[in-house]
Chains A and B, each alone.
Chain A
Amino acid sequence: MGKLLAGLIAVITVVSAAIFARHIWWMPPDISVHGSGIDHQLGETMISAGVLFVAAQLVLAFFIWRFADRGDARPIRTFPGGVTPMVVIAIVLVGAEVAALSLVGTKVWAGIYQAPPNPNALRIDVQAEQFAFYFRYAGADGKFGGTHPNLIDDGNGNFFGLDPANDTSARDDIVAASLVIPVNQPILLTMHAKDVGHAFYVPELRIQQDFVPGLDVPLQFTATRTGKYEIVCTQLCGLGHYNMRAYLEVKTPADFAQWLKDQAAQQ
């Protein structure tokens, strides 16, 4: 029985590790400026975790196989050094690993979420609701109009509750159902929720952030590759949660300018 269990553990370990190592299921290619930091952190953690995983499981399997009771009179043996090597391994090896990963990881995290707002960023207002995302651009005047929840009228396309009749800065605001941005341009999203909690996640962009009702949450990133990517909701928001998506379209600056013009004409 012990041999069977030891063999099982070994097989499971090797097969799992191989699948991880070969990246059979893995993150999509990174299209962001900050993503390399995350990918590096994940890769380093995967290596040290992988080594720990394989070592611990194989040692466990070996001991299960080796130290079965074979009915002989052999005496039991204490682990050489007793408890001390265990404590030392844990504190030194794991502790050092933890410290190293923390130090680097903190910088990566701070670079994304604690960076001051980039003054050159293109500002886009994002609203999440059951079950869609809407995106608002400031328009030619560069100013966002005020939002009024009591004016929200989805049927007539007034998702943000703008008041263009009385609010001049709202008149040229562009509202779209896709997040269209120029490539290599810093973006600053201001995220708010209309009803319940939602979240914004684009795996390629290496970015994720919750929407918190009652708060305006900032999010910064720069996309480095053109293309169309899916934005998905990762915070449980009701029955349509699985279907709540929008598209991130990264365009060349020229294409983006054209898109903006077309949108302005339509609003």
Chain B
Amino acid sequence: MPDTPRPPLTQPRETAAKVSELKHVPPQTFMRKYVFSVDHKVIGKQYLGLALVAVCTGMLLSWLMRLHLGYPEVAIPGLSTVSPNGAPGGVMTPEYYLSLMTMHGTIMVFFVLTTAPFAGFGNFALPLQVGAEDMAFPRINMMSFWVTLAAFLVLVAAFFIPDGPPLSGWTAYAPLSAVGKDAGPGQGMGQTLWAISIALFCVGQLLGALNFITTTLDLRTKGMSLGRLPYATWAWFITSVIGLIAFSVLLPACILLILDRVGGTSFFIPAGLVISDRLQPHSGGSPLLWQHLFWFFGHPEVYIAILPGFGIISQILPAFARKPLLGPRVFIACLAAIGFLSYTVWGHHMFLSGMNPFSATLFSVPTLIITIPATIVTLLWIGTIYGAKLRFTTAALFCLGFASVFVSGGISGFFLAQPSIDVQLHGTYFVVAHFHFVMGVAAMFGIFAGTYYWFPKMFGRLMNETLGKVHFILTFIGVYCIFMPMHWLGLHGDVRRYSAFTDEYMKGDIPLHKFITVAALFTGAVQLIFFVNLIYSRFKGPKATDNPWQSTTLEWATTSPPPFDNFGGHPPTVYRGPNEYGTPSPSGDYAPQFTPEPAGR
């Protein structure tokens, strides 16, 4: 399809001047450079740093959980010092297990899977990719990071208070989460801190989405029409719109939860509840109301977690296939379709919740329909690989691995989308397998791919490829060993969120649980290779050129790392779309967006 250059929107005069003001003088002090920085590149790295701390925390929690599930009689060294009440003698109590599980889910979903692919990489790369000097509102951008960090600190504080962290899961269903201390251990102040943390997180993400959307619409450089936007930017843009709507609903939900806990209201708590032998003073509320509000946010949230990964894979895979992405316009249309449909399916988390059973059928239909754009996207990647000249860098390997694990995770969704099958599989390990494959593995692979790919641009040095390949292969084997068996446990009826398997029919599955535990600890240990690679390469890695991967998009037009104002005061002009791999030009077997040589096709 001929690529006719279209005149760009006129440059924003006043705000370009304003951003330039901020970007005129590079920051001098340590605080301004690395701490309270308005530079989107620094903010992106700060988000990634936060996500790194969060993923280490979340992973540690998962090891503790798996140790307890596979080997419940083993005393975990050091645990009784960390929490004498939670793990007396190193063996955790059931409530402690549930608290760890709650914090694991909350930290991973919010502070890793929403933070790294979207806030982290998006902040770093989006302004570069559209050719801007920074985001539209740099000070608000800085605020969004600090609010998100505050949210994380509030959440983690729950570990250190006497009542301990909440145990109602990342989903915090009412009334368990709403009545307060009477509901049992783990439901005191910790749950309130959870709600405050998530509310703050919503604010941080809304401020971020504000920047992403405005920058993509208004700060594109000359020649960068919407049709020439890189696919990662499209993914971040669509994710921002999804997030804008979703977080705007979760925020009031958390406020209502806090009010039920401390304000004496009854939004979610009905009358007549007897908890801990006390008749609760609430009345009239509806637990289903919490579920509807939560999942109206919750389902789009999982697409917020995965869509940036789609964009990152679609950016990276063509670069290492030396071949254009197949069907880019269809790809973008699918992203938009998934975004739109994500708001119509929330009830599939509630098939058995007691809501009108007819609504189950209503929610099931769009849930199954979402399979179609998701399938198209996967087939586009497979079609891109056809006839390619694959270069197996670590970033490319994680893209290919993403395709495989996304197929695995997506297919189990096919089962859960049908209410009649959900009768048998809801609340079992089958669900745990599904969401870990698509989020814990696929989205993580997107983060890894982005790290190996953009590391040279961020730090001016390349990561070690040998370590990267070992990291990939061992992780790929490891994650299949952890999560594929969980489908089988679920089919057998093993229930999730159990701190022990004392039911007769589940006892026979404990050997499989032990296998999963060993696989999990192995895979966790393998991540050390990644950390070593990160730290070593940051300081000692081979220096990177401007465009080590021979990629087409604008971030590769500037130095590695870029100067303070991204393009040294000379914003690039865009001459073509981002997909011209395999188009011979003076640059090589591809035509970057930013070079004026004539296109080959």
Contacts and interface: CB of A to CB of B under 8 A. Distances in A.
- A–B contact at 8 Å CB threshold (below): yes
Contact of B357 (A46, A114, A154): A114
B498 interface: yes
B527 interface: no
A25 B372 contact: no
A130 B184 contact: yes
B287 to A, nearest CB: 6
Given A82-B327, A149-B279, A240-B94, A196 B175 contact: yes
Nearest to B169: A236
B515 to A, nearest CB: 12
Interface string B374-399: 01101110111111111110000100
B270 A242 contact: no
A239 B95 contact: yes
Interface string B481-496: 0001001110111011
B157 interface: no
A239 B184 contact: yes
Contacts of B495: 201, 232-234, 242
B93 interface: yes
Contacts of B372: 90-91, 94-95, 98
Interface stretch (B239-247, B359-367, B452-460, B552-560): B359-367
B375 A60 contact: no
Contact of B327 (A74, A83, A95, A195): A83
Q: Which of A9, A25, A78 has the most chain B CB atoms closer than 10 A to its own CB?
A: A25
B427 A234 contact: yes
Given A2-B390, A109-B360, A230-B503, A76 B285 contact: no
B85 to A, nearest CB: 12
Interface in A2-33: 2, 4-5, 8-9, 12, 16, 19-20, 24-28
A12 B485 CA distance: 12
In the A-B complex, list the 3 residue pairs whose CB atoms are closest, starting with the nearest: A214-B270, A77-B387, A83-B327
24 contacts: A5-B400, A41-B420, A49-B415, A56-B382, A60-B385, A64-B400, A86-B327, A98-B369, A105-B421, A109-B361, A109-B423, A129-B274, A149-B273, A154-B277, A195-B273, A197-B287, A203-B505, A208-B427, A210-B353, A214-B272, A236-B167, A238-B98, A238-B176, A242-B498
Interface of A: 1-2, 4-5, 8-9, 12, 16, 19-20, 24-28, 37-38, 41-42, 45-46, 49, 52-53, 56-57, 59-60, 63-64, 67-69, 74-79, 82-83, 85-87, 89-91, 94-95, 98, 101-102, 105-106, 108-110, 112-114, 129-130, 149-150, 152, 154, 161, 194-197, 199, 201, 203, 206-215, 217, 230, 232-243, 245
Interface of B: 93-95, 98, 167-169, 173-176, 179, 183-187, 269-275, 277, 279, 285-288, 321-323, 326-327, 330, 352-354, 357-358, 360-361, 364-365, 368-369, 371-373, 375-376, 378-380, 382-392, 397, 400-401, 403-404, 407-408, 411-412, 414-415, 418-421, 423-424, 426-428, 469, 473, 476-477, 480, 484, 487-489, 491-493, 495-505, 509, 512, 581-582
